[in-house]
Amino acid sequence: MSGAGSPSTSSSAGTPLDGSGLKVTIVAGRWHDEITNGLLAGAHRVLAEANVAVTEIRVPGSFELPVVSRAALEAGADAVVALGVIIRGGTPHFEYVSDAATSGLTQVSVLTGKPVGFGVLTLDDEAQGLDRAGLPGSREDKGAEAAEAAVATALALRALRSGHPLAP
């Protein structure tokens, strides 16, 4: 499990981020409904607690996340939370889609200067996804983590761009 060594989050410490005034778009693939719906629930919960304006856009799969994320950011979103599920199969397709989604979302963030919370699960099997989806019995909530990362980064960028020093 990759959660070892992860930082404590604002929501886990009981103090949600204040993202008042931020606009965040969730862009989520349609594959693997149960896992994706868990990721969406966690992201929506964190964004509601952070008082951000939220829109949600669904796309066919993880390959389409970068282009729609960029369009959302260029249309005025302050951040995107990208959610997808890619499960390894018996062909190289997994590697191609995983690389395209990861590289594409990185490029989107760098090119737009806006954060993309990365909630794309790359899995060997469905059980790993269920364990990371924030569902009852899950050990992790990657949708919530991606949303919190997007909001925290948007707030850091807002502070930097307005000339305010960042807290240590």
Helix (H, G, I), strand (E, B) or coil at 55: strand
The two structure tokens encoding residue 103: 């590289």
For residues 125 and 94, the answer to whether their CB atoms sit within 8 Å is no
- The catalytic position among 32, 44, 93, 164 is 93
* Active site (annotated) includes residue 32: no
Residue 7: count of CB within 10 angstroms of its CB = 8
Please give the Cα distance from 51 to 87 (Å, whole number). Answer: 33
Residue in the block written with tokens 């594409």: 104
For residues 105 and 69, the answer to whether their CB atoms sit within 8 Å is yes
Please give the Cα distance from 12 to 10 (Å, whole number). Answer: 5
Residue in the block written with tokens 């992201």: 43
Q: Which residues are catalytic?
A: 93
